[in-house]
Amino acid sequence: MQAFIDSLIKGWGFDPAVWPYTQFVYLALMGLFAFAVINFAAITAGIFSWAERRVAGRMQSRVGPNRAGPGGFLQWIADAVKLLTKEDLVPTEADNFLFRIAPYFMMVGFCCVFVALPFSHSLIIADMNVGIFYILAVTALIVVGIIMSGWSSNSKWSLFGAIRSAAQIISYEIPAGMALMIPVLLAGTLSTQGIIKGQGPWPWQWYIFDNPAAFAAFFIYFISALAEGNRTPFDLPEAESELVSGYNTEYSGMRFSYFFLVEWGNMWVMSALAVTMFLGGWQVPFLDVTQSADKIAALSGGVRLLAEFASLGIFVLKTLTLVFVVMWLRWTLPRIRVDQMMNMCWKYLVPMSFVGALFVAGWMLIVHSVPVLGLIMRVLLFVGASLVVGRFAQTTLRNIRATGDKFDFTSNW
Amino acid sequence: MTFEEIHSALAAKLGDRVGPLQAARKDAYCVVRADAIVEACRFLKTDPATAFDCLQNLSAVDGFKAAPMIKVVYHLYSYSKRHTFILKVELDRATPVIDSVESVWKAADWLEREQYDLLGVVFTNHPDLRRIMLPDDWVGHPLLKDYKEPGDYHNISHTRESPLDGFVRMDELKKKIAAEKAAETAASAPKKELLQ
Amino acid sequence: MSEARRAPETPTMVMTTNKEILKRIEYTGDMLLNMGPQHPSTHGVINFLVQTDGEVMKRAIPEVGYLHRSLEKIAEKVGYNGFMPYTDRVDYIAAMFANQGYAMAVEKILDIKVPKRAEYCRVIAVELNRISSHLIAAGTMAMDIGAVTPFPYALREREFINDLLEELCGARLTYNYLRIGGVAFDLPDGYTEKVSGFLDHFEKILVEFDRLLTFNEIFVQRLAHLAVIPAEMAIDYCLVGPNLRASGVDFDVRRDIPYSVYPELQFDVPLGKGLVGTPGDCWDRFYCRVEEMKQSCRILRQALAQIQPGETMAKLPRKLKPEEGLEAYSRIESARGDMMYYVVAGGGESAWRCKVRTGSFTAMGIIDILSRGLMVADLVALIASFDVVAPEIDR
């Protein structure tokens, strides 16, 4: 982004290095981008709330919201307006200051991640060379917000939810971080754009199919991200059937909506990160972009614009697919108990992720000497994964036909 | 085993503290003396021939008008032998006190609490005898035949006026207000004429 | 709290109060949580005083009575026939069974013989209600464990049953269909085909339900080896129904103390065998209910095939006034287990005493002892596995 702003200033006829007002322009434009990003985050979260309710409805053999707008699409706007106009309740016994400020910690921790997310070939706010490191650090703010909200609510049930959530998120930071280190190893850089450039547009060029450890790392990261986002099967902190709503029981109105903005927006963040690190990001087929050769930058004019939009579209499509998988999991799986969850993290995911990282390091040395092994492994993994997915689809279709169900996407909108 | 066989086994053990087997007025039963109930139950549970391992039901009945007493009825069942038996104990209505059989069957814990709560039967040696259905500070035992309902509980009345009476009352109130208004306007009207 | 204590001389003094228990718990420094009375997963209005130091509970004391409607006192006022709608409310999810138990007890007192066709109508209504009650039990258990989706699936199937029962007796929940001496209405035209059609559809759904939930790894991990109840303990605490059978006790009132036309119907009684855990754990109690639904389908098909034309109501005297001193008990296999009605006649038009001993009431008695050492999430699973409903506990 800085390059973009510098080129703007140069276009106005000033030299960014010596012009006295450079910093002001930076500040203003950064503010504008931040505003745009927060809007994007909030609107995405709102749309996901609608999508989740529709998806949940169809999976549960019912319709979902369909009154407010076509297909219920304006439901989330109606909900947002309602929450905004609700009474601002702060319980008498609650810790006033902490209660009010807790949601903002979560929002900050969540929105800051968007700074380093590469939406397309050139749409990234700050392509830091410590991108992933920054993301992992900033998401830790969410824990602080949760504990503050649970504690300040002055309710034992909220405290329950907050402590469970804190334990869960902090524990799962470790396998998530280690699993994310594997693409970093493979790419050789912490920068998100750099990691995408290390992959290619075709599935066998993605890091997920690079070697078995990277394949496992994708799932380790995905599971850990589910846990960090408090999504089922890890939604004990807001286990509706036990704690009513966990750490946000006492919240209502706009403060409550902050919590849920973060939860739904987190779906985007975790999916976008998984796509960036493991699934090739925004790479467009036939227009490979690597660290050294940038085929998209080589284009110009209308074709270049088309390629940029294609990369944005590919990124968004991949992320939305993963978001759908996250929703799908929520409405299918039961909830894990807290000690089973901690067991899984510390006894299984953490050792697996460390072993995986070691394996990848060794594998990289092997492939450096015998490059054809790398290609064989990629193709094998890709073919194997495709077969599994195909078998899954086949079994699902068979099961659906066995109960006499039909696919019907036209009615009940 | 039939009712007669079980009764004779019980009578053999406890002698005259067990009454005769009453005729089946739909269900036969025998009356046991109050101080022998725990012994009788323990015998019926542990004896290998009877083996009554389950207390199916424990109810208290506020006896009939002719002979006022509180009867505690035990329905027993044996899962291993698949037979039933019924015991009754007759207690004085003024002070119904009896030993708890919770030491014999754990199911008696809650069943006895319920009878204590609703009929006032006090079970001695019960580990935790307190009210179960009604609030702790409730006065009285509702299922007794001479139970008079208190008018309210913590100033929340137990009765309310019939809605029809309420409508009549509202109608009268409206009429009264209308009449007062009419009287007011009638009283103030002449004043206005004077001013003109 | 469990030492033996001698009662005072006067019967009106209360031994311990709930406030004293609360004080005692607070004094130990542990956290005292109130789970309920309004809570998404306590199957009705029940309160649990949970003493815990974090996630693991020291004990959980159930507090019931929020739904006490003094039905047993009402039975002494409204007449034998008049009490029948009240029995619906004893267990509104399996209301046909409550009707049946009361009707059988009063029929035993009055020596009324129910006609054969009425008995078959009863069995059909009652087994349909068993399926719908188990659907709710399984669905809410899944929801409490966190899998929200099976609950609407169960409710969707239950809607079919509700439609069938509405056609039969006009109501979807509190039926008042079984009456003293028979049933209120005869089967409507075409009913046999409708029920058979439903059963054809439902048996496939049960397979899907099994695949989705019963053997799901997370579901099994939550429930297997949890709160194992050995058979002797289950019998001692008077657990009944699927709770008892899951602990291995092979007893079903329909088969072992036969009533109605069950001797002429073939069905199996599912037992808990510890398929994925220990015999007598929460999963077994859940699986017994799923299997019972399959058996109910079997019973329904046989009943529909065997039913013959006839009377649906016995000839009753104008006023039911059994003489004083007559008393009888009846036991039926309700959806929640063995429900026992003990009716004492007092010579008047109403019962002198009507005691209902329900499976949920005795199941609450065992929760205190089982909950020691469990986690709060496990308490939710335990209550769900017992399939307690608050109206049965409190009446």
C373–chain A Cβ distance below 8 A for any pair: no
CB contact under 8 Å between B73 and C342, yes or no, is yes
CB contact under 8 Å between B105 and C364, yes or no, is no
Q: What is the mean pLDDT of chain C?
A: 87
Q: Distance between CA A310 and CA A161 in Å, rounded?
A: 42
Nearest to C343 by CA among C334, C331, C335, C361: C331
For residue B175, give the 3-state DSSP assignment.
Answer: helix
Average pLDDT over residues C25-33: 73
Per-residue pLDDT tens over the stretch A195-232: 999 888 888 889 999 889 999 999 999 999 999 888 87
Whether A61 and C153 have beta carbons less than 8 Å apart is answered as yes
Q: CA of C202 to nearest chain A CA: how many angstroms apart?
A: 9
Percent of chain C with pLDDT strictly greater than 70: 93
Per-residue pLDDT tens over the stretch C251-277: 999 999 999 899 999 999 999 888 888
What distances in angstroms separate CA B84 from CA B7, C232, C249, C270, one per listed residue? 11, 18, 17, 24
Q: Sorting pLDDT into bands at 50, 70 and 90, what band is A238?
A: low
Per-residue pLDDT tens over the stretch A79-136: 989 988 988 888 888 888 888 898 898 888 888 898 889 988 888 888 888 989 999 9
- Taking CB atoms and an 8 Å cutoff, what residues of chain A touch C54? 163
Percent of chain A with pLDDT strictly greater than 90: 33
CB contact under 8 Å between A340 and C221, yes or no, is yes
C91–chain A Cβ distance below 8 A for any pair: no
For residue C32, give the 3-state DSSP assignment.
Answer: strand
The whole-number pLDDT of residue B194 equals 58
- Per the DSSP assignment, residues forming a β-bridge with C109 are none
What distances in angstroms separate CA A49 from CA A236, A252, A327, B180, one per listed residue? 20, 17, 10, 59
Query: Quick check: do C and A touch, 3+ CB pairs under 8 A?
Result: yes
> Tokens 């206005």 correspond to what residue?
B192
Q: Distance between CA A202 and CA A286 in Å, rounded?
A: 9
Whether B139 and B150 have beta carbons less than 8 Å apart is answered as yes
Average pLDDT over residues B15-39: 85
Chain B residues 112-131 within an 8 A CB cutoff of chain C: 114, 118, 120-131
In A, minimum Cα distance to C379 occurs at A242
Q: What is the DSSP string of A239-288?
A: -HHHHTTGGGTT--THHHHHHHHHHHHHHHHHHHHHHHHHS-TTPBTTB-
Percent of chain A with pLDDT strictly greater than 70: 97
C258–chain B Cβ distance below 8 A for any pair: no
pLDDT value at C5 more than 60? no
Percent of chain B with pLDDT strictly greater than 90: 38
Listed range (A296-300, C340-344, C370-374) with the worst mean pLDDT: A296-300
Return the C-alpha torsion angle B181, B185, B188, B189, nearest 10.
-170
